[in-house]
A = this chain, B = another copy of it.
């Protein structure tokens, strides 16, 4: 297995480069002084180009073929080889100058986007986004040709290996058929009761941070191998054995930072729970963005917005902030955390209306990649979709098609993973709680150990050993479907048994 061993060394080196980029990326968002952004851009670009050069070295292709012929590999080695092949195929498909051009265009477009969003000025973004789209379509074509996929599936495969439109379309069609009526029913039900009482602030940042750290510990975050910091846009990043999550604080409301920390902690558990012996190899990485999002949503939405967890959380918050009265009771907290209200902003959406935001973006980006929707027509199509799917009239592009960084940043094929993750989260949580009925009651004590143990074994420690549907089948008995997600929504929001 000499070819395999050589490949393993090459991919360990690539992993270290990716780790270095991960720390630099974290630093960019949390520490870097403004004047360093140009130099930082060059550092990240050099690391990226070097990794691309190493990965697409013709010898990598030769060694892959040789290793595949060696045929004396164990289960993990075989899966590792398959992930190496996938990474190589994605990288080798795209000429180096296209990689560089697409990366540069995205960086430039992202910078313009920041101002364009602030000023709600789509016209300023348009030429830059057109260029980004043009190049991403070329990337999609190139990858599609190499992988035997259509362009969109080829891009999607870069975020969620093995995921295809043919798999997504029926799942999203089910949501499309059910959710609009479900939103109406939930809102009628919530309108029939007095609204939940807002928690009276202010909420000092230092206390919010202490609570965040305490909850991270409770969920199972390992501070020997990770940190919590502050950034404008919360994320989970960092490197191997060094998982760094961020949040942002608002003294007027503690909910955003609190739920944000729990969400990122779900991502972090996945990263910290990857199989230790394989953590520098492709097979030791998280399976894909859908499963990654399933872990954050499982912790935040399934576990921490549950009635049980609110029982644990209410006295924690009450004591920490010196609260008094009915607003601080578990029942009110749960009603606050499960309030449903259609809104313009995806990242602020509740779990019932969130899929509509994704269905719209998925529809628009598949059309853009297919060449059926021009950038010039994006605002109109976006606003039309918001009207159709959520009944909302978008007042300006800032609260419309300019709100997300994904397209300006060149990420086409990423959006569906949010809702696929929500579906997977429900399915995994249902399986876990069905296997271990003690999980839910334990949440009322702030005890995540059994849930965490199940996730470790059934998701985290598997790394990329199995394809997403195979992992779900092994963990839940069947591939991804919407049943548990819709049941969860009906149970939590309509009180159905």
Residue positions of A touching B, CB distance < 8 A:
12-13, 16-17, 19-20, 23-24, 27, 31-36, 38-40, 42-43, 45-47, 50, 222-227, 239-242, 279-280
Q: How far is the CA of A69 from the CA of B224 in the complex (A)?
A: 55
Asked if A33 and B239 make an inter-chain contact with CB atoms under 8 angstroms apart, the answer reads: no
Which chain B residue has the least Cβ–Cβ distance from A242? B36
Q: Which of B12, B42, B43, B242 contacts A40 (CB 8 A)?
A: B242
Q: Which of B35, B43, B222, B239 contacts A225 (CB 8 A)?
A: B35
Q: A39-B239, A241-B38, A242-B39 are in contact. Are A46 and B33 (CB under 8 A)?
A: no
Asked if A35 and B239 make an inter-chain contact with CB atoms under 8 angstroms apart, the answer reads: no
Q: Which of B27, B33, B39 contacts A224 (CB 8 A)?
A: B33
Q: Which of B36, B42, B46, B280 contacts A42 (CB 8 A)?
A: B280
Task: List chain B residues, Cβ under 8 A from A17.
Answer: 43, 46-47, 50
Asked if B24 and A242 make an inter-chain contact with CB atoms under 8 angstroms apart, the answer reads: no
Which chain B residue has the least Cβ–Cβ distance from A17? B46
Q: A239-B36, A241-B35 are in contact. Are A43 and B16 (CB under 8 A)?
A: yes
Q: A20-B20, A239-B39 are in contact. Are A226 and B46 (CB under 8 A)?
A: no
Task: List chain B residues, Cβ under 8 A from A50.
Answer: 13, 17, 50
Task: List chain B residues, Cβ under 8 A from A222.
Answer: 35
Q: How far is the CA of A12 from the CA of B49 in the complex (A)?
A: 13
How far, in Å, is A382 (CB) from chain B's closest CB? Answer: 37
Q: How far is the CA of A33 from the CA of B241 in the complex (A)?
A: 9
Q: How far is the CA of A17 from the CA of B17 in the complex (A)?
A: 10
Asked if B280 and A33 make an inter-chain contact with CB atoms under 8 angstroms apart, the answer reads: no
Q: A23-B23, A27-B27, A50-B50 are in contact. Are A16 and B42 (CB under 8 A)?
A: yes
Q: How far is the CA of A222 from the CA of B35 in the complex (A)?
A: 9
Asked if A46 and B20 make an inter-chain contact with CB atoms under 8 angstroms apart, the answer reads: yes
Asked if B240 and A33 make an inter-chain contact with CB atoms under 8 angstroms apart, the answer reads: no
Q: List 15 A-B contacts (CB under 8 A).
A: A13-B50, A16-B42, A16-B47, A17-B43, A20-B20, A20-B46, A33-B227, A35-B225, A35-B241, A36-B241, A36-B242, A39-B280, A40-B242, A42-B280, A43-B239
Q: How far is the CA of A280 from the CA of B43 in the complex (A)?
A: 11
Task: List chain B residues, Cβ under 8 A from A12.
Answer: 42
Q: How far is the CA of A315 from the CA of B75 in the complex (A)?
A: 71
Task: List chain B residues, Cβ under 8 A from A240.
Answer: 36, 39
Q: A40-B242, A42-B280, A46-B13 are in contact. Are A24 and B35 (CB under 8 A)?
A: no
Q: A40-B242, A50-B50 are in contact. Are A27 and B33 (CB under 8 A)?
A: no
Which chain B residue has the least Cβ–Cβ distance from A36? B242
Q: How far is the CA of A34 from the CA of B227 in the complex (A)?
A: 11
Task: List chain B residues, Cβ under 8 A from A279.
Answer: 39
Q: How far is the CA of A20 from the CA of B39 in the complex (A)?
A: 10
How far, in Å, is A216 (CB) from chain B's closest CB? Answer: 13
Task: List chain B residues, Cβ under 8 A from A16.
Answer: 39, 42-43, 45-47
Asked if B19 and A225 make an inter-chain contact with CB atoms under 8 angstroms apart, the answer reads: no
**Apart from A12-B42, A23-B24, A33-B242, 14 more pairs, CB < 8 Å:** A16-B43, A20-B24, A20-B46, A20-B47, A33-B225, A33-B226, A33-B227, A34-B224, A36-B239, A36-B240, A36-B241, A38-B241, A39-B239, A39-B279
Q: A27-B27, A50-B50, A241-B38 are in contact. Are A20 and B33 (CB under 8 A)?
A: no
Q: How far is the CA of A32 from the CA of B226 in the complex (A)?
A: 8
How far, in Å, is A474 (CB) from chain B's closest CB? Answer: 29
Task: List chain B residues, Cβ under 8 A from A32.
Answer: 242
Q: Which of B38, B42, B43, B224 contacts A35 (CB 8 A)?
A: B224
How far, in Å, is A330 (CB) from chain B's closest CB? Answer: 33
Task: List chain B residues, Cβ under 8 A from A35.
Answer: 222, 224-225, 241-242
Q: How far is the CA of A239 from the CA of B34 in the complex (A)?
A: 13
Q: How far is the CA of A214 from the CA of B298 in the complex (A)?
A: 47
Which chain B residue has the least Cβ–Cβ distance from A41? B16
Q: How far is the CA of A27 from the CA of B28 in the complex (A)?
A: 12
- Most B CB within 10 A of own CB, among A20, A50, A222, A240: A20
Task: List chain B residues, Cβ under 8 A from A33.
Answer: 223-227, 242
Task: List chain B residues, Cβ under 8 A from A34.
Answer: 224
Which chain B residue has the least Cβ–Cβ distance from A16? B46
Q: How far is the CA of A473 from the CA of B32 in the complex (A)?
A: 37
Task: List chain B residues, Cβ under 8 A from A225.
Answer: 33, 35-36
How far, in Å, is A264 (CB) from chain B's closest CB? Answer: 16
Task: List chain B residues, Cβ under 8 A from A38.
Answer: 241
How far, in Å, is A32 (CB) from chain B's closest CB? Answer: 6
How far, in Å, is A16 (CB) from chain B's closest CB? Answer: 4
